[in-house]
């Protein structure tokens, strides 16, 4: 039985040697399987590609620039030939040793996916943790596809599930949503959070915020509905306001007092308008990028061969 292991790497020269050593140790323990290793070098500027090339049994793809982890994952999945395919990070935050359990569970239960979920966020900043929790609450309250809190991209999938994932070739990729969208029975394997072994995370607050918005825009149109509700609410309030002013004029005769409150109301309503335009803009920009049908990634080199296009 062939098991493909897909690893996206961006500037991982520090963590990669330790990861490869651990991965080899784990796969050696697994009798009865053959392994196919697919490393995706996502435009690294350090020695990542060199380290990958030093292992002659590894397949690899190298991008012309950094296209992002989502594109790297997609490229790896497209090339994987295994009966089972596992995706894992190169920084040991997805412990390779869990693969043993994952393979046992997927066969025993005869299901299509075993995915890893962190039961805590030990070692992560308080603000980052809180924002992540808020994000999962938000997206799950709006989207019909459940996105597990603490879920990682780290998972073992059956051939048919991988085929379904590849079929979704959209430009704005949010893998956690895509895995949930394609369905299939998934077993959640829980584990304690592990910190990155070496090197630095590629995410900062802003890029995570962007990723979160991508996820929400990609998997639910509820913000648009909320925007229209807000519009309706403002309309009703404005209508009541008009009645109030007219009645006051009839009783007291002076409609011009209260300009300060008027300014506040104006600012408030224009703020809401801007917010709603922003929400609509997010969806339009996504549609725009999607209709261009640009390639998700461009390959520079693949398994020793130079390439020109994806």
Binding site for ligand UDP (CB under 6 A): 8-10, 12, 42, 66, 68-69, 72, 89-91, 93, 196, 201-203
Residues 157-196, one symbol each (x = binds Mg ion by CB under 5 A, - = not), give ---------------------------------------x
* 3-class SS letters over 183-227: CCCEEEEEECCCCCCCCCCCCCHHHHHHHHHHHHHHHCCHHHHHH
298: Cβ–Cβ under 8 A, 6 or more apart, which residues? 63, 64, 65, 67, 309, 310
What residue 66 binds from ligand UDP, Mg ion, none (CB within 5 to 8 A, per partner kind)?
A: ligand UDP
Q: What is the smallest separation between the CB atom of 302 and ligand UDP, expressed in angstroms?
A: 16
What residue 12 binds from Mg ion, ligand UDP, none (CB within 5 to 8 A, per partner kind)?
A: ligand UDP
Nearer Cβ to ligand UDP, position 66 or 140?
66
Structural contact between residues 48 and 16, judged by C-beta atoms closer than 8 angstroms = yes
What residue 90 binds from Mg ion, ligand UDP, none (CB within 5 to 8 A, per partner kind)?
A: ligand UDP
Name the strand (E) or helix (H) holding 62: strand 58-63
Within 238-297, the residues that bind Mg ion by CB under 5 A are none
Nearer Cβ to ligand UDP, position 12 or 112?
12
Greatest Cα-to-Cα distance within the chain, rounded to the nearest angstrom: 91
**Pairing state between β 2-9 and 151-158:** unpaired
**93 sits near Mg ion (criterion: CB under 5 A):** yes
109: Cβ–Cβ under 8 A, 6 or more apart, which residues? 185, 187
Nearer Cβ to Mg ion, position 89 or 112?
89
66 — phi, psi (to 5°)? -80, 115
Structural contact between residues 90 and 12, judged by C-beta atoms closer than 8 angstroms = yes
41 — phi, psi (to 5°)? -90, 110
Q: What is the smallest separation between the CB atom of 196 and Mg ion, expressed in angstroms?
A: 5
Contact segment (CB under 5 A) with Mg ion among 58-66, 67-75, 84-92, 181-189 equals: 84-92
Structural contact between residues 91 and 196, judged by C-beta atoms closer than 8 angstroms = yes
Q: What is the smallest separation between the CB atom of 195 and ligand UDP, expressed in angstroms?
A: 9
What residue 42 binds from ligand UDP, Mg ion, none (CB within 5 to 8 A, per partner kind)?
A: ligand UDP
Nearer Cβ to Mg ion, position 191 or 227?
191
Nearer Cβ to Mg ion, position 4 or 93?
93
Binding site for Mg ion (CB under 5 A): 91, 93, 196
């Amino acid at each position: 039985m062939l098991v493909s292991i897909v690893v996206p790497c961006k500037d991982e020269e520090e963590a990669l040697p330790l990861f490869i050593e651990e991965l080899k140790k784990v796969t050696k323990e697994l009798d009865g399987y053959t392994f196919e290793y697919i490393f995706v070098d996502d435009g690294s500027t350090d020695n990542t590609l060199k380290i990958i090339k030093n292992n002659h049994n590894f397949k690899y793809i190298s991008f012309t620039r950094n296209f992002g982890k989502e594109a790297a994952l997609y490229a790896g999945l497209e090339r994987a030939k295994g009966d089972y395919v596992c995706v894992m990070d190169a920084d040991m935050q997805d412990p390779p040793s869990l693969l043993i359990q994952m393979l046992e569970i997927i066969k025993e239960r005869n299901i299509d996916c075993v995915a890893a979920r962190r039961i805590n966020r030990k070692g992560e900043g308080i603000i980052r943790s809180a924002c992540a929790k808020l994000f999962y609450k938000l997206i799950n309250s709006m989207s019909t596809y459940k996105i597990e809190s603490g879920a990682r991209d780290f998972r073992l999938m059956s051939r048919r599930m991988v085929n379904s994932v590849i079929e979704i070739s959209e430009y704005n990729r949010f893998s956690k949503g895509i895995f949930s969208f394609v369905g299939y029975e998934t077993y959640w394997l829980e584990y304690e959070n592990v910190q990155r072994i070496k090197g630095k995370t590629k995410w900062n607050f802003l890029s995570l915020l962007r990723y979160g918005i991508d996820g929400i825009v990609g998997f639910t149109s509820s913000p648009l509905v909320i925007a229209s509700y807000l519009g309706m609410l403002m309309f009703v309030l404005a209508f009541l306001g008009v009645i109030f002013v007219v009645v006051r004029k009839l009783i007291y005769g002076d409609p011009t007092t209260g300009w300060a409150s008027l300014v506040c109301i104006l600012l408030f309503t224009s703020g809401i308008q801007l917010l709603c335009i922003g929400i609509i803009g997010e969806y339009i920009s996504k549609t725009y990028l999607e209709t261009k049908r640009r390639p998700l990634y461009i390959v520079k080199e693949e398994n020793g061969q130079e390439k020109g296009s994806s």
